[in-house]
Each structure stands twice: as C-alpha cells, then as structure tokens.
Structure 1
Amino acid sequence: MEKAQIVYDDFAKVEIRIGRVLAVLPFERARHPAYKVEVDFGPFGRKWSSAQITSYKADDLIGQLVACVVNMPPRNIAGFNSEILILGARDTAGEVKVLTPTHNIQVGEAVF
C-alpha cells in the first residue's frame, strides 16, 4: 500500500544515523518477540531500542552497523524506554532484516 506523497521538507525532519550494535538482551515482556538493543552513535551517544529482529541470533547482531531514526520521542514498550527506531525490511522469507550499510560508515554519520 502506497502512502500519501510528502514534500522534501517532511523527509528532512527525519534524522537517520548509522550506529553500531553494542548489546542485545532478551525482552520477555514484549508483546511480540523482540530484543532490547543498545546502539552506539559515536559523538551522539548510546541509545536503546526495542526491536523485533529476532530472526537474528543476539550474538550475530553485536558489532553490526544499522540505520536508525534517532529523533523520535522515546516510547514506553512494556515498561522499557525505547529511544530509537532501528530500520528494517522483510526479506522474501518474511523475516525482518536490519538495514545496514554495505560500506564501512563512521558511527553517527547521517543518512540523507
């Protein structure tokens, strides 16, 4: 389903940055299978996310570069403060896969 068109100024409000996954913890209280994920954005600090990316083993995510929306207000998910949105898409098998750069990008770098 396509969404309504937006103008560039709408897109420019979204701050997407590259971060590196530092920690992945189980999130048993989540309604749908999820992890608690800590992401390092270098000079922009470390932030946590509740992420439904359980098609990965937790250890396989650590050290991976990920694209994240970093300027949304925190959201309380089952008592956990999720500060960022890790971007992903479903693969042909229907599993959520994180969006990650194909090149070595500095953590904290903006996506535009």
Structure 2
Amino acid sequence: MSNDLKPTVRPEDTLEQLDIRLGRILSAEAEPSAPKPSYRLQIDFGKYGVRTSVGRFTSHPPGELVGRQVMGVLNFEPRQIGDVSSEVLMIGIQAKGKDSGEATFLTPALEGKLGSKLF
C-alpha cells in the first residue's frame, strides 16, 4: 500500500464544504491567452447557471467535450487564467501518458440532472 496518502479528515470539515455539481459542456474552444494549452469551456449547471472554466483538457478534441456531463466545483474563488476569469474548476485526472496537468474529465456512468450535487 502506498504511503503518499494525505492525512484522514472528516467529511464535514472538507467534502461537505465544497459545492461540486453536475454540468454539461456547451462549448469548448482553444484559449490562446492561457499560459499552457487549454480550452475555454462553457458549462451549464442547470439552475446554477452557465459558467466559464479554463482547463487543460486538450487530450480531447473540442467536439468530444461538447455535450458531455462533467463535475465542477462551483464555490471556489474565480481564478484568472490568461485573459479569462475561470469561474468553476472542472474535475479531472491526469490523462495517461500525458504531461502533469493535462487532464481528462470525470463523468457519470449514467445521465444525471444538471446541477445535481456530488455526495
């Protein structure tokens, strides 16, 4: 077993403070002002609105991202990435065989209601 796990925490001190919800990618386009190759994504979170995210999901062509359901953290402070204010952190993992930070998205196995909370 690996020893690089972080210390044990209580859900009410961590996960329950994050507002992680289900959205659908409406558009994906290259963001030339980002310091590393990235996409500017428009993601619909249902009653929580459409939000912008800039992320390194470039292992996927833009057309593969559009229409996909993804999870995003809605209550982080916006982060300036190049010329864009990234309003939501889309959740992903490092893509196999890619550089650190180059990600693939996490998506539910079945369609869910937009805006549904992760639990």
| TM-score bracket for this pair, using the shorter chain length | over 0.9
1:7 corresponds to 2:39: no
Which runs of 4 or more aligned residues in structure 1 lie more than 4 Å from their structure 2 counterparts after TM superposition? Answer: none
Q: TM-score, normalised by structure 1?
A: 0.93
Q: Which structure 1 segments of 5+ residues have no match? A: none
Q: Is the 8 A contact 2:59 2:95 kept in 1?
A: no
Q: Is the 8 A contact 2:54 2:81 kept in 1?
A: yes
Q: Which residue of 2 aligns with 1:109?
A: 116
Give the partner amino acid of 1:7.
R
What's the C-alpha RMSD, in Å, of the aligned pairs?
1.2
Distance 2:95 2:51 in 1: 26
Query: Secondary structure at 2:54's aligned position in 1?
Result: strand
Distance 1:54 1:16 in 2: 22
Distance 1:74 1:5 in 2: 28
1:97 corresponds to 2:104: yes
Q: Which residue of 2 aligns with 1:56?
A: 60
Query: Secondary structure at 1:100's aligned position in 2?
Result: coil
Q: Is the 8 A contact 2:71 2:106 kept in 1?
A: yes
53, 66, 69: which is aligned to 2:70? 66
Residues 31-57 of structure 1: per-residue CA shift (max 9 Å, x gap): 111000000011110000011000000
Q: Give how far 1:71 is off.
A: 0.7
Q: Which residue of 2 aligns with 1:40?
A: 44
Q: Give how far 1:16 is off.
A: 0.5
Query: Secondary structure at 2:115's aligned position in 1?
Result: coil
Query: Secondary structure at 1:102's aligned position in 2?
Result: coil
Distance 1:80 1:23 in 2: 15
Q: TM-score, normalised by structure 2?
A: 0.88
1:78 corresponds to 2:85: no
Q: Percent identity?
A: 30
| Equivalences, count | 112
Q: Pick which of 34-43 and 92-101 moved more.
A: 92-101
